[in-house]
Amino acid sequence: MAAGNDTTSVEYIQHHLQNLTFGLHPQNGWSIAHGQEEAREMGFWALHLDTLGWSIAMGVLFLLLFRRVAVRASSGVPHGLQNVVESIVEFVDRTVNESFHGKNTLIAPLALTVFVWIFLMNSLKLIPVDFLPGLFAKMGVDYMKVVPTTDVNATMGMALGVFFLIIFYSIKVKGVGGFARELSFTPFNHWALIPFNLLLEIIGLVVKPLSLGLRLFGNMFAGEVIFILIALLPFWIQWALNVPWAIFHILVVTLQAFVFMVLTIVYLSLAHEKH
């Protein structure tokens, strides 16, 4: 859907921010929502098909690219895609060694997956905002929100996955009693202050997934809105603004993937520490 004379600016923006939603409608049963009102009426029983589809597609692309390099890797001087992949792996491995102080063979592969997967999902933002939605519109798909990380459901889903790992390893490494004592006697090691300590520590635990998910969502969503607003301008001025913003956003795309990865490593490192 491109901005045109038959579409107001508000309708254009709302259209681009509307997910392809499939869910249980109170009156129509299981169906695809036509507009934001129907999507809201579906409530909890709804799936954002575009978010799921593009997330899975970027995950598959990540696996295919890295598997191809692994199968065709040579012992000589790396070049092309192998050089890029090896550079990413070395960068992630160095970051894990600097930030993670426990012993867990899962952390490095998890960090690599988080960084590359989020980077690929964020990179979809660099595709012109009307290109893929317009392509799907010709195939009869009215709504197509392409960038998964502009959907708070996706970013909070990843953040909750990290949160469950934090709880799992906190209990595994310290034991139920050790984890409970850590929550009860940190930061003040006195039995009279246990309620105050629990309040502080539980708030700290809850803030971790919120900060992970909302930071990524906020930055990606804000950038997407800017791209949409630029697309509303006359064609002759769009490129003058779109190209510099896209070049700047290459940094944002990479930085947000890096921040999510580093915070994941740091949180899991804290979960492995015994006090």
Q: Catalogue the active-site residues.
A: 211, 215, 219
**What does the alpha-carbon distance between residue 264 and residue 259 come to, in Å, rounded to a whole number?**
8
Going from the C-alpha of 22 to that of each of 118, 147, 221, 234, the distances in angstroms are: 24, 18, 22, 34
Contact indicator for 19, 143 with CB cutoff of 8 Å? yes
Residue 193's identity, in one-letter code, is L
Angle, alpha carbons 50-55-59 (nearest 5°): 150
Which residue, among 84, 115, 148, 126, has the nearest Cα to 257 in the 3D structure? 115
Task: Report the run of H or E that residue 23 belongs to, with start and end.
Answer: strand 21-25
Q: What's the CA gap between 91 and 98, in Å, rounded?
A: 11
Helix (H) or strand (E) holding 108: helix 107-123
CA 50 – CA 56 distance, rounded (Å):
10
**What are φ and ψ of residue 22, in 5° steps?**
-120, 130
The answer to whether the CB of 187 falls within 8 A of the CB of 213 is no
